[in-house]
A = this chain, B = another copy of it.
Amino acid sequence: MTRRRTLWIALAAMAGAGMRIDAAGPPLDPRRIVDLTYTLGPDTPYWPGGKYHPFKSEAIATLDADGVYSRAYCTPEHLGTHLDAPNHFEKGQIAIDQIPLADLMAPAVVLDISEKAAKDADALLTLEQLRAWEARHGQVPKGSIVLLRTGWGRRAADAVSYRNMDPEGRLHFPSFASDAATYLVGPREAKALGIDTLSIDAGISKDFPVHHVVNAAGRYGLENLANLEKLPATGAYLIVAPMKIGGGTGGQARVFALLP
């Protein structure tokens, strides 16, 4: 046997062994996972309108009195890091418990308008910017979850600054423009749109066009995502794990991003 043949045999054996180890090892490496979920509590920013209210919890048993510590809580479905189900803004669309598993796991694409949003709290990701992004990074892969990083995560600990309400009661925070959303759930077949602000529509919106576009297509939204600055533009993979509330219009979700 020549030395070269021996080398090839060794290479082939190493490659084969490597593949077997991959198949048998753990499918996920927790050290390569980013938690995109905020902790829920009484200070979690909530939507300032209608009958929305803060997250409330109370002890219903304590170790000292009952030998067990247990609590109960009340919350709007749309508070903290949460999912907007297709039935949130459109009739005839599915509830949160009916979203197929195949739509809760997908490659993530991260668009970044944080520089623009630092100068203009009403900044929108436009279709033109989206096309410029595609010219640089390639097409948004079909079936992705498209995340918009606005830099609003820096305000998340301060509900006043995060909502950014003006004296007339209008909110100011950045989001998707409706033409970009239409393009993403249309030709790009995005499974969901996600953002690091209170809403996939801009704060100043009164008619919520992005919610309508997304929900009318049977897709869902993710709001108040944490840690988007830790994700690459492409190559991450999301696991979205929402509360399975029967008929729910949305619900808190734990969202994990697997880094490439």
Contact with B along A6-19 (1 / 0, CB 8 A): 00110110011011
**Would you call B77 and A72 a contact (CB within 8 A)?**
yes
Q: Find residues 16-54 in chain A having any chain B CB closer than 8 Å to their own CB.
A: 16, 18-19, 22, 26-28, 30-31, 33, 35, 37-41, 50-53
Q: Which residues of B contact A241 (CB under 8 A)?
A: 239, 241, 254, 256
Beyond A12-B15, A28-B237, is A256–B77 a contact (Cβ under 8 Å)? no
* Partner-binding segment picked from A63-71, A117-125, A129-137, A158-166: A63-71
Residue from B4, B35, B88, B105 in contact with A68 in the complex, judged by beta carbons closer than 8 Å: B88
- B residues within 8 A CB of A102? 30-31
| Inter-chain contact A74/B73, CB cutoff 8 Å | yes
CB of A258 closer than 8 Å to a CB of B = yes
Contact B75 A72 (CB under 8 A): yes
A87 within 8 A of B: yes
Secondary structure at the A interface, as helix, strand, loop or mixed, is mixed
Report A62 CB to chain B, min CB distance, Å.
Answer: 10
How many A residues face the partner with a CB closer than 8 A?
75
**Chain B nearest CB, measured from A117 CB (Å):** 25
Given the known interface contacts A40-B246, A245-B40, the answer about A70 and B66 at a Cβ–Cβ threshold of 8 Å is no
Q: Roughly how many angstroms separate A4 CA and B6 CA in the complex, as a whole number?
A: 12
A219 close to chain B: CB less than 8 A: no
Residues of A in contact with B (beta carbons under 8 Å apart): 4-5, 8-9, 11-12, 15-16, 18-19, 22, 26-28, 30-31, 33, 35, 37-41, 50-53, 57, 60-61, 63, 66-78, 81, 87-89, 91, 97, 100-102, 104-107, 208, 211, 237, 239, 241-250, 252, 254, 256, 258
Sampled A-B contacts (24; CB under 8 Å) = A4-B5, A18-B19, A22-B22, A27-B27, A27-B28, A30-B100, A30-B102, A39-B245, A39-B246, A40-B246, A40-B248, A41-B245, A50-B66, A51-B61, A57-B245, A63-B91, A69-B87, A70-B77, A70-B250, A71-B248, A72-B74, A74-B74, A239-B241, A241-B241
